[in-house]
A = this chain, B = another copy of it.
Amino acid sequence: MGTLTGLFAPERVAVVGATDREGSVGRAILENLRSFDGDVVAVNPSRDEVLGEPCYDDLQGVPDPVDLAVVVVPAKYAIDVVRDAGEAGVTNVVVITAGFGETGGEGANREQELKAVAEEYDLNLVGPNCLGVMNTGVDMNATFGPEMALPGNISFMSQSGAFITAVLDWANDQNIGFKDVVSLGNKAVLDETDFVRSWGDDPDTDVVLGYLESIQDGREFIEAARDTTDDTPVVVVKSGRTDAGAKAASSHTGAIAGSEAAYEAGLEQAGVLRAESVQELFDSARALSGQPLPETDEVAVITNAGGPGVMATDAIGDSSLSLASFTEDTLDRLKAEMPDEANIYNPVDAIGDADIERFETAIDIVLDDPNVAAAVVVSAPTAVLDYGDLAEVVVDRQADHGKPLLTCLMGGERTGAAAETLREAGIPNYFDPARAVDSIDALARYRRIRDTDYEAATEFDVDREAAREVLEQAKVRDDNRLGVEAMELLDAYGIPTPEGAVVDSPAEAVQTAADIDGPVVMKIVSPDILHKSDIGGVKVGVETDDVYDAFEDLITRARNYQPDANILGVQVQEMVDLDEGTETIVGVNRDPQFGPLVLFGLGGIFVEVLEDTTLRVAPVSEPEAREMIDDIQAAPLLRGARGRTPADVDSVVETIQRLSQLVTDFPQILELDINPLVAGPDGVQAVDIRLTVDTEDL
């Protein structure tokens, strides 16, 4: 797939299904395209002329090269039209037509066919079932919506066409402009990943916004977003976050909803700023498109009103920001310039009789402070202060100092003109101090994302062949569940396991035990017996002399309990000192969108009762694995809380990475749990394993 320039900034657009029938989509698009800087060509085999312009039978018949075809024909003709586009050398196609995957059944088949044709001709295809695309650079409104976007530096993609019409109506009123707008529709070919990547390369897009209900390929999206966020922030509402919402989204789009936990991990790893509501989406967008980034997280508040100053301070406490501590020099200057009753510490209260000069002085002194990276000006209306003046001062001071400066000039109508002045300078004005602070927070969070160097996952030296052999046991046995008999899988990937083996005779058991220092643990090994302890299938602290009898006893118990159980033998394993270590769990499962997800948590109640776990999309890099430890609330227990000997956290981090490599190397592993992975002061030991394998794929 090439660049998307031809899609958003074509020279010639053809509307296939053009018509002058009142109220039709074809006519709406033609009318919307009237202001387009380039040429518009009508295509419709049943007309000679549309709205006074010549109409062609098909794309191959259009004499001049067409860069973009907008398709509004009935669904049954759409495939032929797209093929015609391919034959005519049109590389960009927007299929407005509905009646594809979203209707299920026949529509889904039609969508598969559409996809195949698009692939055959290597088309950049948007849709089907979408509102269209816009680009304000060439004044192109190739949608059937009622509004054209104002020009700006935000590019916006939405999986809901209706949301685009709602947003544009509102944004035009708020003077928020856009560069490109795309309605993603069913995402048969081009999806969020393509647009995130394309806008990352677009110098005219400063902020990427998305309303998404699903992500087609999670891992690819992560890679694309990481590249883009190097210099362009990406803010996304991913809806269907809640169970109810996910069900609604899936019935709306027909897409399979992935798990919210996977989206949460994946979007975080992608460096996407996730907004929870429409308001948060656009508040972030406004700040990111209009303000510079703060160099640190230290924020100052300057106000003429104590109460609202406290509210702003609370909002800072709620955010990832902190309240800046002023330098002595700043305090001296404020003391000299402010009245005695003023508060010169952050939040600065210039008090109720502050006029424009005092406000300006305070803003200047505060923004001069090297400890202050950003500030918010909070003002209540007073008789001695004109909001228009204050807005001009804020705009000037912001430009002068080059630090982000947000405002809450509180009030109603009296804020109107001031808000307009501020808006023109890229400064949104809010009544609620929390919204201004949250806007700075979005800037700071993006600065941290921009500064992140994503490390590649470490490639450990492993024995893939040995691992494959273990997995193939499942095929041989015709059982896709493996247990401790697969411990060698971990050995092959360098994950420490206690000494031991699965044996199938008492003599072998004795021999194995003899090689192990001290008493051993013995467990029956059978995929059919899940709760081994309950049937007496586990013996702890068996001395070498007792191993022979213990073997026979275990086998007997298993046979008595379940005569038809497939018994693979008995595991004889070194005793692991559970008192010295902390039980953890490292696991993997697969998400339809994001692929393998690695889970970490402390064992037992921490996972089962407190649900204190964390997830990452694999492959997991070293810093990501380390973050996983920090994520869990019970992490201090690993680090030596309450007088415990600290566990070797590095070994846990390495185990997470090695497991991530294993499941990345073998997509056949559907689920895997190491439980417990005992983390002690001298390293980790994987005591038990359980996994499910896709045997078809081996």
* A165–B245 touching, CB < 8 Å: no
Cβ of B410 and Cβ of A245 under 8 Å apart? Answer: no
Which of A300-308, A459-467, A566-574 lies at the interface? A300-308
Chain B proximity mask over A486-505: 1 for CB below 8 Å, otherwise 0? 00000000000000000000
Q: Complex: how many Å from CA A173 to CA B419?
A: 15
Residues of B within 8 A of A414 (CB): 169
Query: Could you tell me the distance between the alpha carbons of A641 and B607 in the complex, rounded to whole angstroms?
Result: 12
Q: Judge if A336 is at the interface, Cβ distance under 8 Å.
A: no
- Contact between A169 and B381, CB atoms less than 8 A apart: yes
- Name A's B-contacting residues (CB within 8 A): 23, 28, 103, 146-147, 158-163, 165-167, 169-174, 211, 213, 237, 239-245, 247-249, 251-253, 276-279, 304-311, 313-318, 322-323, 341, 343, 345, 347, 349, 352, 380-383, 410-415, 431-435, 604-605, 608-610, 612, 633-634, 636-637, 641-642
Bound: A637/B253 CA distance, A: 41
Can you name 20 A-B pairs with beta carbons within 8 Å?
A103-B341, A160-B310, A161-B307, A165-B380, A166-B305, A166-B380, A169-B411, A211-B307, A213-B307, A239-B307, A242-B313, A244-B317, A244-B322, A251-B343, A252-B343, A253-B306, A278-B311, A278-B431, A279-B432, A279-B435
What's the least CB distance linking A171 to chain B, in Å?
7
| Interface-centre pick from A162, A411, A432, A642 (highest chain B CB count, 10 A) | A162
Choose among B241, B279, B314, B316 the residue that contacts A431 (Cβ–Cβ < 8 A): B279
CB distance from A212 to the nearest CB of B (A): 10
Residues on B with C-beta less than 8 A from A380 are: 162-163, 165-166
B634 contacts A244, C-beta separation under 8 Å: no
Number of copies: 2
Give chain A's interface secondary structure class. helix
Q: Is the CB of B313 within 8 A of A160?
A: no
Q: Is the CB of B641 within 8 A of A609?
A: yes
Q: Which residue of B lies closest to A308 (CB)?
A: B163
A307: which of B146, B174, B252, B305 is its contact (CB, 8 Å)?
B252
Question: Which of A171, A248, A252, A382 has the most CB atoms of chain B within a 10 A radius of its CB?
Answer: A248
> In the complex, what residue of chain B is closest to A279 when comparing beta carbons?
B432
In the bound complex, residues from chain B placing their C-beta under 8 Å from that of A349 are: 252
Determine the chain B residues whose CB is within 8 A of the CB of A243 once the complex forms. 317
Evaluate contact between A381 and B146: CB separation under 8 angstroms: yes
A147 surroundings in chain B (CB, below 8 A): 381
Q: Are A169 and B410 in contact (CB under 8 A)?
A: yes
Q: Which residues of B contact A431 (CB under 8 A)?
A: 166, 170, 278-279
The answer for the CA separation of A276 and B317 in the assembled complex, in Å, is 12
- What residues on B are CB-neighbors of A276 within 8 Å? 318, 434
Considering only CB atoms, which chain B residue lies closest to A213 in the complex?
B310
| Measured CA separation A509–B341 after assembly (Å) | 66
Knowing that A23-B383, A245-B314 touch, tell me 20 more A-B residue pairs with CB under 8 angstroms.
A162-B306, A163-B307, A165-B382, A166-B305, A166-B308, A166-B381, A169-B411, A170-B411, A172-B413, A174-B412, A213-B310, A239-B311, A241-B314, A244-B316, A247-B313, A252-B306, A252-B309, A278-B311, A604-B642, A609-B642
What is the chain B residue whose CB lies nearest that of A249? B310
Residues on the B chain within 8 Å of A310, using CB: 160, 213, 239-240, 245, 248-249, 252
Closest to A383 in B: B146
A314 touches B165 (CB 8 A): no
Q: In the complex, A642 Cα to B28 Cα: how many Å? A: 63
Q: Which of B163, B253, B341, B434 contacts A277 (CB 8 A)?
A: B434
What residues of chain B lie closer than 8 Å to A343, measured between beta carbons? 251-252
A531 → chain B, closest Cβ, in Å? 11
Given A174-B412, A278-B311, A248 and B165 contact (CB-CB distance below 8 Å): no
Contacting pair B412 A248 (CB below 8 A): no
Nearest residue, chain B, Cβ from A212: B307
For A412, list chain B residues within 8 Å (CB): 169-174
Q: Check B162–A304 contact: CB distance below 8 A.
A: yes
Q: Name the distance in Å between A301's Cβ and chain B's nearest Cβ.
A: 8
Q: How far is the CA of A163 from the CA of B146 in the complex (A)?
A: 40
Cβ–Cβ contact B381 & A305, under 8 A:
no
- Residue from B162, B322, B411, B642 within 8 A of A308 (CB atoms): B162
Q: Which residues of B contact A322 (CB under 8 A)?
A: 244
Contacts of A610 in B (CB 8 A): 610, 612, 633-634
Within 8 Å CB of A244, what residues of B? 313-314, 316-317, 322-323
Q: A163 — which chain B residues lie within 8 A by C-beta?
A: 305, 307-308, 380
Q: Which residue of B has the minimal Cβ distance to A158?
A: B307
Q: Is A240's CB under 8 angstroms from B314's CB?
A: yes
Name the 8 nearest CB pairs between A and B, nearest first.
Answer: A160-B307, A242-B317, A173-B412, A162-B305, A166-B410, A245-B314, A169-B411, A162-B380
CA distance A605 to B633 in the complex (A): 11
Q: Which of chain B's residues has its CB closest to A307's CB?
A: B160
B-chain residues with CB within 8 Å of residue A637 when the two chains form the complex: 605, 609
Chain B proximity of A150: nearest CB distance (Å) = 11
A277 pairs with B432, CB closer than 8 A: yes
Name the contact of A609 in the complex, choosing from B103, B305, B313, B636 (C-beta under 8 A). Answer: B636
Cβ distance A359 to chain B, nearest Cβ, rounded Å: 14
Q: How far is the CA of A304 from the CA of B173 in the complex (A)?
A: 22
Chain B residues, Cβ within 8 Å of A146: 381-383
Q: Quick one: which of B307, B317, B345, B608 contacts A251, CB cutoff 8 A?
A: B345
For the complex formed, measure the closest distance between the CB of A66 and the CB atoms of chain B, giving whole angstroms.
28
The chain B residue with its CB closest to the CB of A211 is B307
CB-based nearest B residue for A251: B343
Bound complex: CA A349 to CA B318 (Å): 36
Best-surrounded residue of A170, A306, A634 (most CB of chain B within 10 A): A306
